[in-house]
Each structure stands twice: as structure tokens, then as C-alpha cells.
């Protein structure tokens, strides 16, 4: 305990409230960097463990046995975690010949600060220089641009559109061409700064926050805000103050942790299911300071109140870590039919698009079972349906009717447009990649799922 910071009974409640604020403020940093650390040691789903400054590529589309929720059957993932402490990294991207892809750059605080890909920079081949904070070296000839990283550790989340298993060979050939090379000689660490292992487990979160805040400082405005946490000893450098902390401080931190976590959990809890589709294109608008390549720097895409951005960032990190801005991709979901009843495989349904969703890339409806939110095994091996699905049957007026039910429809046209459903409750998700303005402003109304008859 630092001199002059002993905790009295009178200020313990104030410290508890402050610790709760610190949790909300800092949990994106701790949650995100813990995921980076886990990724390097254990991988993620089909992606293998991979060290800094190397890409990990999934070799397949997600399938029902993929062991994580809300698996993606539209794109094939590639992830790289960059360490820029030893200097810049050159990123090479291939020519995708017009096919959709995106590389999304996320800093240690989970801010989406740059995008490279079809929407942001086109689909041509080229090199990009990713530089650490404060770098002032010479940019080599031939690079398309410089990506200024807010922190020395960066996550690059890649998605390549894949039009089914038959398209995997093309995607794998592209994946092999994504490359990362060091611009100059330097020492690159092999892991994140380690919290003191002697800190008791109940205080581990705050020890991680203390160590990682020091190594990955936020913007100047955020840093001014986090100065308020000095009474919690979060700004202490050197040996950990939590190894033998004052009992009153330990109480304040543990109670504050519980309150802060409950606050984030409550804010993350889905609202009561309503009729119609729900989506939030502004879930990631908390980045107020870093607007690099491909980021839309507009008040429309920024939360106006900085302090309100911290709980928003915490919820996003808790629910959809490393998700993208709504203008890159947005996802609508529903669990109710047009009459407000829970969607269930005991019934058959139709989803009729009088006009297809206005997107610049592509759209699809993916089926997830409840309560596990996993893809639904079915004899057709069809897990999603959309504008890239071959063999769809359109109406003479250009409309498209998707048939959602457990068993294959007897009618050939309906069978061509079949999205298989599970036996029990389910949740379809409409993925909209590079959505048009009508989607983002709500002008385009997604049609309701309508019950078409009993089995």
C-alpha cells in the first residue's frame, strides 16, 4: 500500500463505486488481450495456435460441429495478432478479383481503427505499412498506405467471402498470399506483459488491468479519465501493490469487481424478444479517437458522450468481441414469427423478399438452433441461403420466397429455396455485408417470417 493511500471505512464505499467504474472501463482491454493470449496458446475454433506477426487461417467454412456459438457460414476466417514493439510490419494483401474480403484492425482496447478490403480499399493487390505509436521512420517506396496503430499490439480479423465448399480452393489460394514481414530488424516479444503471479486470484483482473494499461496506454482523453483510478493503485508502476494490499482495498476491489461485472452482464442481456427483426448497426461506435484507413470518420458513427462510450465498449467486448462497424457488416436476428410466436421446427414458415436487401457485397440468412446458437445439421448440408446460393427460384416479379421448415418441401421450387430448420426453437440471422443506406437508416424493412401451415 502506498504511503497516504490507506483505506478507511469512511471512503470504502466510494472506492467500491470507483472499482466498479474501473471494471466497466477496463474489461474490454482485459477481455480482448486475454483472448489474444489464449489464441497464441490454444487457438480459436478451427484456427490453430499462432504466434505474433503470423496469420492463422481456417481451412473450411464453419459447420455444425464447429465448437463455438453463432458460427459463420458466409466467410472463412483469418486472424493475425501483431506485435509492433520491435518496429513496423508490412502487410501484403492479394488481388481477390472483386471478391469480398475485409481485414479489420482492432487495438488493445478493442477499437476498430482501420479496415483494408473491398469496401475500404478495393480488391487489388498491394502492401500496407502498419506502424506503432510514435513511429517516425521512413516509409518505403511502393506501399499503398500507412496504418497508424494506437497500441503496440493489434488484432487483425480477416474474412474472405466463400460461396460454399466448392469455393474453398479459391479462398485457400488467397489465404496463402496474405503475408506479414518486419520492416526493419528489431526485438519482437513472444507474449504479453505478465501480471505478477503472486497476486491473489480475486485481484487478478485489476493486476492485469494495471499492467496492460501501462503497456498499452489509451488516447489522451481516455488517459485523463483513467487518472481517477489512482486511489485503486491501478496507476502504480513497478512491483504490484496487490500482492499484500490493505484488507479494506481488497474488499473495495472485489466488491467493485462484482458490481461492475453485474452492470455489464445486465447491459448485455438481450431485451425481451419482440416481433420482427432486431439489429444494432451502432454497437461499435465507441471509437472516438482513432480513424485510420477505411474508418468512416463521421458523427453518425461516433457516440457523442465519452463516458457513455465506456459501457458501450464493455458490452460489445462481452457479446461480440472483434465485431465490425455496421457499415462494414451488420446482422439482424429474430426469434418470433409475424404473429409474435416463437419460431419452432414444429411449424413451417416463409420469408418473402419482395425486394432483396440492398447491399453492396452480399446477404444471407443463416439458421441457428436454440438455446446453443449453433448451426443446424441437416441432410441437405445447407446452413444458410442468400443471394449467392445457386439454383434459387425467383418469382416473375423478382421476389424471392425462402421456405423455412424441418423437412424438405415436396414442391421442387420450394425445395430449391429451402432453409432447413431444427426440431425445436430456432433463430435465423440475416447477414448484410456492406449494407446500403436504406438498411442503416431503417428505410428498408426486413420482411417478417410468416407461418405457412401446420405439419
pLDDT in tens, 368-422: 998 888 888 898 889 999 999 999 999 999 999 999 999 999 999 999 999 999 9
Model pLDDT for residues 155-182, shown as the tens digit of each residue: 999 999 999 889 999 999 999 999 999 9
Q: In what order do the strands lie in the sheet with 101-107?
A: 55-57, 75-83, 153-161, 101-107, 112-117
β-strand pairing of 179-182 with 89-93: antiparallel
Look at residue 455 in the predicted model and tell me its pLDDT: 45
Q: Are 353 and 334 in contact (CB under 8 A)?
A: no
Answer left, alpha or beta for residue 45, where phi above 0 means left and psi between -120 and 50 means alpha: left
Alpha-helix runs per DSSP H in 382-445? 412-416, 437-440
Would you state the pLDDT for residue 453?
67
**pLDDT at res. 376:** 87
Average pLDDT, the chain: 92
Enumerate the H helices of 227-356 as residue ranges. 247-268, 306-319
Q: Cell numbers of 302, please?
A: 461516433
Q: Single out the residue of 345, 391, 389 nearest to residue 368, CA to CA.
A: 345
Q: Which of 46, 32, 67, 60 is nearest to 373 (CA)?
A: 67
- CA-to-CA separations, 160 to 176, 191, 268, 323, in angstroms, rounded: 12, 28, 29, 15
Q: What are residue 105's DSSP bridge partners?
A: 114, 156
CB atoms within 10 A of CB 274: 11
Q: Under a CB-based contact definition with an 8 Å cutoff, are residues 192 and 37 in contact? A: yes
pLDDT by residue, tens only, the chain of 455 residues:
444 445 555 578 999 999 999 999 999 999 999 999 999 999 887 889 999 999 999 988 766 555 554 567 899 999 999 999 999 999 999 999 999 999 999 999 999 999 999 999 999 999 999 999 999 999 999 999 999 999 999 999 999 999 988 999 999 999 999 999 999 887 778 889 999 999 999 999 999 999 999 999 999 999 999 999 999 999 999 999 999 999 999 999 999 999 999 999 999 987 665 678 999 999 999 999 999 999 999 999 999 999 999 999 999 999 999 999 999 999 999 999 999 999 999 999 999 999 999 999 999 999 999 888 888 889 888 999 999 999 999 999 999 999 999 999 999 999 999 999 999 999 999 999 999 999 999 999 999 999 996 54
- In degrees and rounded to multiples of 5, residue 55 shows phi and psi of -85, 140
Q: Of all residues in the chain, what percent are helix, strand and coil, respectively (each to 5)?
A: 25, 25, 50
- Report the C-alpha gap between 10 and 16 in whole angstroms: 11
What's the pTM?
0.93
Please name the residue ranges forming H helices in 58-144. 118-121
> Around Cβ 204, how many Cβ atoms within 10 Å?
16
Amino acid at each position: 500500500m502506498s504511503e497516504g493511500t490507506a483505506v478507511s471505512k469512511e471512503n470504502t464505499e466510494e472506492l467500491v463505486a470507483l472499482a466498479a467504474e474501473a471494471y466497466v472501463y477496463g474489461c474490454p482491454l482485459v477481455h480482448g488481450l486475454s483472448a489474444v493470449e489464449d489464441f497464441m496458446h490454444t487457438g480459436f475454433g478451427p484456427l490453430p495456435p499462432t504466434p505474433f506477426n503470423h496469420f492463422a487461417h481456417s481451412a473450411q467454412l464453419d459447420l455444425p460441429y464447429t465448437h463455438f456459438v453463432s458460427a459463420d457460414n458466409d466467410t472463412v476466417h483469418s486472424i493475425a495478432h501483431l506485435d509492433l514493439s520491435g518496429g513496423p510490419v508490412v502487410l501484403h494483401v492479394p488481388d481477390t478479383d472483386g471478391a469480398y474480403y475485409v481485414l479489420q484492425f482492432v487495438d488493445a482496447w478493442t477499437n476498430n481503427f482501420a479496415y483494408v478490403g473491398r469496401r475500404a480499399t478495393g480488391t487489388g493487390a498491394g502492401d500496407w505499412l502498419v506502424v506503432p505509436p510514435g513511429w517516425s521512420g521512413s516509409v518505403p517506396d511502393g506501399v499503398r498506405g500507412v496504418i497508424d496503430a494506437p497500441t503496440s499490439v493489434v488484432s487483425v480479423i480477416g474474412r474472405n467471402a466463400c460461396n460454399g465448399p466448392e469455393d474453398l480452393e479459391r479462398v485457400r489460394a488467397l489465404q496463402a498470399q496474405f503475408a506479414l514481414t518486419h520492416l526493419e530488424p528489431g526485438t519482437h516479444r513472444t507474449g504479453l506483459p505478465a501480471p505478477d503471479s503472486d497476486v491473489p486470484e480475486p485481484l487478478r483482473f485489476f493486476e492485469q488491468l494495471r499492467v496492460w494499461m501501462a503497456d498499452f496506454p489509451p488516447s489522451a482523453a481516455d488517459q485523463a479519465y483513467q487518472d481517477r483510478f489512482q486511489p485503486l493503485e491501478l496507476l502504480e508502476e513497478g512491483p504490484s501493490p496487490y500482492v499484500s494490499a490493505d484488507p479494506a482495498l481488497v474488499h473495495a476491489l472485489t466488491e467493485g469487481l462484482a458490481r461492475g461485472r453485474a452492470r455489464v452482464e445486465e447491459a448485455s442481456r438481450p431485451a425481451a424478444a419482440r416481433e420482427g427483426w432486431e439489429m444494432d448497426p451502432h454497437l461499435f461506435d465507441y471509437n472516438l479517437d482513432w480513424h485510420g484507413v477505411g474508418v468512416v470518420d463521421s458523427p453518425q458513427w461516433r457516440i457523442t458522450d465519452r463516458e457513455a462510450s465506456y459501457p458501450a465498449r464493455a458490452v460489445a467486448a462481452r457479446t461480440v468481441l472483434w465485431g465490425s462497424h455496421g457499415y462494414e457488416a451488420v446482422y439482424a436476428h429474430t426469434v418470433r414469427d409475424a404473429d409474435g410466436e416463437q419460431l419452432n421446427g414444429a411449424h413451417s414458415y416463409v420469408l418473402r423478399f419482395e425486394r432483396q436487401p440492398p447491399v453492396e457485397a452480399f446477404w444471407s440468412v443463416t439458421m441457428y438452433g436454440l438455446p446453443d446458437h449453433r448451426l443446424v445439421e441437416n441432410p441437405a448440408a445447407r446452413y444458410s441461403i442468400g443471394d449467392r446460393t445457386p439454383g434459387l427460384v425467383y418469382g416473375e416479379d423478382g421476389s424471392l420466397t425462402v421456405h423455412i421448415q424441418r423437412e424438405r418441401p415436396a414442391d421442387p421450387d420450394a425445395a430449391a429455396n429451402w432453409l432447413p430448420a431444427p426440431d425445436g426453437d430456432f433463430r435465423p440471422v440475416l447477414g448484410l455485408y456492406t449494407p446500403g443506406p436504406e438498411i442503416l437508416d431503417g428505410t428498408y424493412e426486413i420482411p417478417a417470417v410468416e407461418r405457412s401451415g401446420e405439419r
